[in-house]
Structure 1
Amino acid sequence: MSAERYTLLDGTVHVYRRGNSRFWQCAIYLSGRNHRSSTHQDRLDAALTVAREWALDRIAEDRLGTRSLKLNQSVAAELTVTGLAPNRSRNAKTFREAAEAFVAEYEVLTRGERNPEYVSQKGALLRLRLIPFFGDTPVCDVSAGMIQDYRLHRLDPTKPQQLTSSGRRRRIEKPPSRSTLHKEIVTLRQVLKTANRKGWIFALPDMSAPYKSSGKVAHRAWFSPEEYKRLHDATLERARRPLKERWRAECEQFHDYVVFMANTGLRPDEASRLQYRDVSIINDEATGQRILEIKVRGKRGTGYCKSMPEAVSAFERLSERNAREPTNLIFGKVQRQLLNRVLDELGLKRDREGNLRTAYSLRHTYICLRLMEGADIYQVAKNCRTSVDMIEKFYASHIKTRLDTAAINVTKAASRKGPSGAHVAGEGPSDDLANASLEDR
């Protein structure tokens, strides 16, 4: 049914009445959300007055909820002045107390749900980074400006050096990576949310990073087919002829590790936890090949992985060389020093963009090679226990075989034009030099 409509506040507020209702409604669009309410008035003049007051309340709530206006400080100060709260300086909770409360409840509530190492990292970040900066600052005084000062403190390599307890200057630390700083800000947000739940603050400050709406999406470091062949041949040569005979077992183990990782796509931490009882050799019915079926335990819980056939020989060599007890670890800790030594010798420690290659790069290599061979991206994501969105963002964007030339170089069929010399639709842009006769050139 048609509706009667009016507007207020320069057209931002809409007042309307549907044909099947006697009451007027009002609506306003704020921060990506449409707010609606009934005025409970059947007279237009009364409805307009109610709608105006309602809209001003919604605008005020939106500003306080989406911007840091030092609400915590103003409300606390007002309560102190009016006598509704005790002395703020003496009773306000500090950031240190809020951090301790967060760690205490986080360890209990995530027990059995998150990796214990990940949980312990939260306490380490607070102890080493956040508490030394925010320290005994009242948690209600942690503002958007103070959070920005923390970012500058972490990213500025020219900040003054601090003295240790013995009077020595600390060494200058290199600025943290984007992901490291992001983890610290996430932990800071979790502490402030804990304080908010306990009533120590009234709102969270704006924690968004200014001047940077979105970060640059860079692909993960991996080995191209040619680079992986060089790495494979180098580790195989070391396994056959190690620099010292007493290093033979380590070199053979390392070569099998490289082959195993590049043909399964496991994360390094998943491979470090892998036991012999988690791996079995099966004959795959779909392909008729011998592959490994792996029960993976990692940061995403328990999942399954089916390997490439090349991983079977590496696993068989590992089983023959080591004591194959069901609960024995297959690899244990990653041989980082040997990996870095081989990569340095081959000049493969960094890729074309300067990204460091690590053991994780073997997982990235597996994903990229599968996509280059035309594997289904959804199945690759399931096999690697990740999401299609992550693969599309960090892997598929730089794989040239993901571009379908037949779908890109599409042209419309059209009839040729007369002898006017105009370009004929359905062909590429004309190359006058190539089409000219030798005399014309």
Structure 2
Amino acid sequence: MRFSIKGEGQIRRSLETRDRAEAESKAMEVWADAKHRAKLGLRSQAKRFADVAQEFLDHTAQAVARGERNKSQAHNWALKVNRYLVEFFGDRDIDAIGQREITRYLEWRRNYWISGPGQNVEQIAYQRGGRTVRRRVPPQLRRPPSPATQRHEAVAIKALFRQAAEWGYVQPSAIPHINVPRVIAKPRPSFEASEFTRLEAAALARLEEEFLHPSVRRDRLILYCYIKVAAFSGMRPTELKNLNWGDILDYRERRQLPLRDRDIRIRARGKAKSRTFVAMEVVLPVLDMLWSDWVRLHGGDPADKDPVFATTTGARLGSVKTALNGLLAATGLAVDHNGVRRTSYSFRHFYISQQIIAGVDVFLLARNCGTSVEMIDKWYADVKLERMSKELRPEWKRLGGEN
């Protein structure tokens, strides 16, 4: 049969029979169903979930190419959609998926790596640089997803169904409502001032050891500088990775001046946003060390687009994770007092904590760090109490009246 629906053009459909009477009967049913769906604002023919999911991921990739969506978020969505959602809903018509099916999916997802399809999977395959790479399933997957993970995946599910509704594959009322556990605010793994002093001293001592191979000494130099810049600027690890010499405003022009006549403002670029902020002046001599290292290796000054944290070839340094973990373990600082493992992000938490304790206005601090007052209040409430210690110990008037 062949018919037209406004907004969809001409549609051809096989009735899968050679009997004319049966074909005419089926044609009337198809026509009536298509008209009914059109009145509901739906496409004339239901689409498989897997097809809509691929269309959604293609649409998201195009948004990334146009600079309208975060690349990292789109990548994570693709992983979640292909591994979990397509595996569960696959060939089902997307407009037949209701709240009950979503609820069943969420339970299936919580048990995926424990008693579900992933329990016997030993390796995960993914694409990197155009080739397939395999790695062992990390131990942390062998437990229910954290509340934060569940929230991130809920965002992806809603985004997919919301886009499907805009395309007319489902009604807006079909966008699922997902209840996920609340993320409990816990203090971020930071450093006490004495702990950071110990870590900094150890990093410097390891750098100054005698008889070190030049490559080892340089690795330790980079780690020492990374720690100092991170701890006294509050930059996120991604921002540090993306940092170019041109992002340190006026540094090149004022580099030869005495430290007292220099200032430091940095243009930080993260995954999707950028900001210009003020760092502590102690960062300046550390940057001078990194500049001199570049000149030593390459025989000339770095260009504005060259990375501040670079390999010996001048390429952008990917991570200091291995070197940092070794230093943290050697100094007994791998975990904080709550047993939470410290990472390169801990230096940002140290910076924010120290600024709060020093009495820096929380609004200015939030603007400088590219976050919100609400987030600082949520994650650093215990530090704020420390800052308010004097206010919490007022001089009480004599109880019971004067003697």
TM-score of the aligned structures, taking structure 1 as reference length:
0.66
Q: CA deviation at 1:355?
A: 2.4
1:341 aligns with 2:341: no
Counterpart in the other structure of 1:325: 302
1:325 counterpart SS class: coil
2:68 counterpart SS class: coil
Q: CA deviation at 1:96?
A: 1.3
Q: CA deviation at 1:257?
A: 0.6
Q: 2:356 aligns with which of 354, 368, 371?
A: 371
Alpha carbons 1:153, 1:159 under 8 Å: kept: no
Q: CA deviation at 1:237?
A: 1.6
The structure number with the bigger radius of gyration is 1
Which digits, 9 at most, give the CA deviation of each residue in 1:169-195, with x for residues without a partner?
x95732333322222111111111111
The 3 A distance-change label for structure 1 pair 257 and 374 is same
Alpha carbons 2:237, 2:345 under 8 Å: kept: yes
Partner Cα distance (2:52, 2:163) in 1: 7
1:84 counterpart SS class: helix
1:267 aligns with 2:236: yes
Q: CA deviation at 1:375?
A: 0.7
Amino acid at match of 1:225: A
Counterpart in the other structure of 1:135: 90
The 3 A distance-change label for structure 1 pair 229 and 277 is same
5+ residue gaps, structure 1 = 1-79, 417-422, 428-441
Q: 1:361 aligns with which of 342, 346, 349?
A: 346
Q: 2:62 aligns with which of 99, 108, 118?
A: 108
1:217 aligns with 2:185: yes
Alpha carbons 1:98, 1:192 under 8 Å: kept: no
Partner Cα distance (2:356, 2:402) in 1: 32
Which digits, 9 at most, give the CA deviation of each residue in 1:24-65, with x for residues without a partner?
xxxxxxxxxxxxxxxxxxxxxxxxxxxxxxxxxxxxxxxxxx
1:195 aligns with 2:164: yes
Q: CA deviation at 1:361?
A: 1.0
Q: CA deviation at 1:390?
A: 1.1
Partner Cα distance (2:142, 2:334) in 1: 19
1:292 aligns with 2:269: no
Counterpart in the other structure of 2:377: 392
Counterpart in the other structure of 1:438: none
Amino acid at match of 1:368: S
Partner Cα distance (1:426, 1:84) in 2: 89
1:84 aligns with 2:56: no
Counterpart in the other structure of 2:202: 234
Partner Cα distance (1:372, 1:124) in 2: 41
1:207 aligns with 2:177: yes
Matched residues, number: 331
Q: CA deviation at 1:232?
A: 0.8
Q: CA deviation at 1:226?
A: 1.4
The 3 A distance-change label for structure 1 pair 164 and 232 is closer
Q: CA deviation at 1:121?
A: 2.8
Amino acid at match of 2:291: S
Amino acid at match of 1:361: S
Alpha carbons 1:221, 1:364 under 8 Å: kept: yes
Amino acid at match of 1:314: V
Partner Cα distance (1:106, 1:259) in 2: 38
1:406 counterpart SS class: coil
Greater alpha carbon shift after TM alignment, 316-325 vs 141-150: 141-150
The 3 A distance-change label for structure 1 pair 404 and 266 is same
Amino acid at match of 2:115: K
Amino acid at match of 1:94: R
Which digits, 9 at most, give the CA deviation of each residue in 1:400-421, with x for residues without a partner?
333354367586x7xx9xxxxx
Q: CA deviation at 1:255?
A: 0.5
1:294 counterpart SS class: strand
Alpha carbons 1:261, 1:363 under 8 Å: kept: yes
Amino acid at match of 2:58: A
Alpha carbons 1:264, 1:366 under 8 Å: kept: yes
Partner Cα distance (2:78, 2:176) in 1: 23
Report 1:156-167 matches (<5 A): 156=111, 158-162=114-118
Alpha carbons 2:352, 2:365 under 8 Å: kept: yes
Partner Cα distance (2:245, 2:325) in 1: 27
2:267 counterpart SS class: strand
The 3 A distance-change label for structure 1 pair 424 and 271 is same
1:126 aligns with 2:81: yes
The 3 A distance-change label for structure 1 pair 164 and 256 is closer
1:296 counterpart SS class: strand
Q: CA deviation at 1:425?
A: 6.3
Partner Cα distance (2:284, 2:170) in 1: 57
Alpha carbons 1:114, 1:299 under 8 Å: kept: no
Counterpart in the other structure of 1:312: 284
5+ residue gaps, structure 2 = 1-28, 38-43, 124-135, 296-300, 310-316
Alpha carbons 1:93, 1:138 under 8 Å: kept: yes
Alpha carbons 1:263, 1:366 under 8 Å: kept: yes
2:335 counterpart SS class: coil
Q: 2:337 aligns with which of 322, 337, 352?
A: 352
Partner Cα distance (1:362, 1:330) in 2: 18
Partner Cα distance (1:384, 1:319) in 2: 25
The 3 A distance-change label for structure 1 pair 133 and 161 is closer
1:403 aligns with 2:388: yes
Q: What RMSD over aligned residues (CA atoms) do the two structures have, in Å?
A: 3.4
Partner Cα distance (1:146, 1:386) in 2: 37
